[in-house]
């Protein structure tokens, strides 16, 4: 007797109020503009819709959540299973009490800093210098200009793979440099941040300084993914910097296919127009090998690389 044909993935997924899309292009959703499609892309309507999906999604179906794609490299073979992208149902921002801000995890980091400015609250200016959304900032302890997410997070709300709602305190994250210890199965939906009173003019001046610094030092108008490698010295201002190691290794401007190490800031990889994900990841590995040979230091990827190799 012939076995029944396997049902398409989308037929195995629960009924939701949000949207499903099969064979969904991922390249337009990432800053690099490369990579293959997701088997299914799910955009939940709100946190309840997300919980419904996770509770009903078969346990053998891989699930991956992505943000605005600023720190993400999707490989050319695409992504198996379901990619979840939080949309407009996760973009609310509100002031809580006198000195706190609550924001949905699809809120771009820069918008949180702007909302704090509008409220006359200080301490969140550093988010002006971080490309990405708050969900990613929570998971990787994103930071810039002397501050990190761990310095301002009070608590975060998340949904488990089983569809349960949980609240995590700052301590629950086990934060270290560009890393948290929370389970990969948790999907963050909102977070509460601690700020402090400030003078609007001073807050705005600091944010303008951050903007100017980024424009002067980083290829922000290129197809890039932000900082490619973690600084081996972490947040130590006197520790080794990835860009200095890459420069000393002679990799500034190095090219592989359509990928290039930025001439402006050599800890940035650039899609010059026709790069593949294989070009970008391969160039990054070339840089790592060269730095290891010249300095003995193993650079660690900061960019998250996901999906299948081409042809896989």
Summarize pLDDT for 107-119 with one digit per residue, the tens.
Answer: 999 999 999 999 9
Residue 239 vs residue 43, higher pLDDT: 43
CATH classification (class only), 89-215 = alpha beta
Identified catalytic residue from 227, 254, 256, 281: 227
- Arithmetic mean of pLDDT, 180-206: 96
For 79, the enclosing helix (H) or strand (E) is strand 79-85
Q: What is the mean pLDDT of the chain?
A: 95
Summarize pLDDT for 88-139 with one digit per residue, the tens.
Answer: 999 999 999 999 999 999 999 999 999 999 999 999 999 999 999 999 999 9
pLDDT of res. 237: 83
Residue 71: φ, ψ to 5°: -120, 35
Entry pTM: 0.92
Q: Of 86, 64, 68, 63, nearest to 32 (Cα)?
A: 68
- pLDDT tops 50 at residue 3: no
- pLDDT tops 50 at residue 1: no
CATH classification (class only), 9-88 = alpha beta
What helix, strand, coil percent values describe the chain, rounded to 5?
Answer: 30, 25, 45
CATH fit for domain 220-306, picks 3.90.78.10, 2.40.50.420, 3.40.50.1370, 3.50.50.60: 3.90.78.10
Identified catalytic residue from 178, 214, 223, 254: 178
The residue ranges of every structural domain in the chain are 9-88, 89-215, 220-306
Which CA distances in Å does 280 have to 63, 76, 97, 196, 259? Answer: 24, 11, 45, 41, 5
227 is catalytic: yes
Sign of the Cα pseudo-torsion (211, 216, 221, 225, in order):
negative
- Arithmetic mean of pLDDT, 190-194: 98
- pLDDT tops 50 at residue 201: yes
Q: Could you tell me the pLDDT band of residue 234, with boundaries at 50, 70 and 90?
A: confident
Q: Could you tell me the pLDDT band of residue 235, with boundaries at 50, 70 and 90?
A: confident
């Amino acid at each position: 007797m012939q076995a029944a044909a396997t049902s398409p993935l989308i037929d195995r997924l629960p009924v939701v109020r949000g949207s499903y899309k099969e064979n969904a292009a991922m390249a337009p959703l990432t800053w690099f503009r490369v990579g293959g499609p997701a088997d299914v892309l799910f955009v939940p309507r709100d946190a309840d819709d997300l919980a419904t999906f996770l509770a009903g999604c078969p346990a053998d179906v891989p699930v991956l959540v992505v943000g605005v794609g600023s720190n993400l490299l999707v490989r050319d073979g695409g992504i198996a299973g379901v990619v979840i992208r939080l949309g407009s149902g996760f973009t609310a921002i509100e002031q809580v009490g006198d000195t706190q801000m609550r924001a949905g995890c699809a809120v771009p980091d820069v918008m949180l800093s702007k909302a704090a400015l509008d409220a006359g609250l200080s301490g969140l200016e550093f988010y002006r210098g971080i490309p990405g959304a708050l969900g990613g900032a929570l998971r990787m302890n994103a930071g810039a200009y002397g501050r990190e997410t761990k310095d301002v997070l009070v608590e975060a709300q998340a949904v488990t793979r089983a569809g349960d709602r949980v609240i995590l305190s700052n301590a629950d994250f086990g934060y270290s440099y560009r890393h948290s210890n929370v389970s990969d199965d948790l999907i963050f939906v909102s977070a509460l941040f601690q700020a402090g009173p400030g003078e609007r003019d001073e807050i705005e001046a600091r944010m303008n300084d951050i903007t100017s610094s980024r424009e002067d030092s980083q290829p922000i108008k290129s197809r890039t993914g932000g900082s490619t490698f973690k600084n081996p010295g972490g947040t130590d201002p006197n520790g080794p910097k990835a860009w200095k190691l890459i420069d000393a290794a002679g990799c500034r401007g190095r090219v592989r296919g359509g990928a290039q190490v930025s001439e402006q800031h050599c800890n940035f990889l650039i899609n010059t127009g026709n790069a593949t994900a294989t070009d970008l990841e391969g160039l990054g590995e070339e840089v790592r090998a060269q730095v290891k040979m010249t300095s003995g230091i193993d650079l660690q990827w900061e960019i998250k690389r996901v999906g299948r190799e081409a042809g896989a």
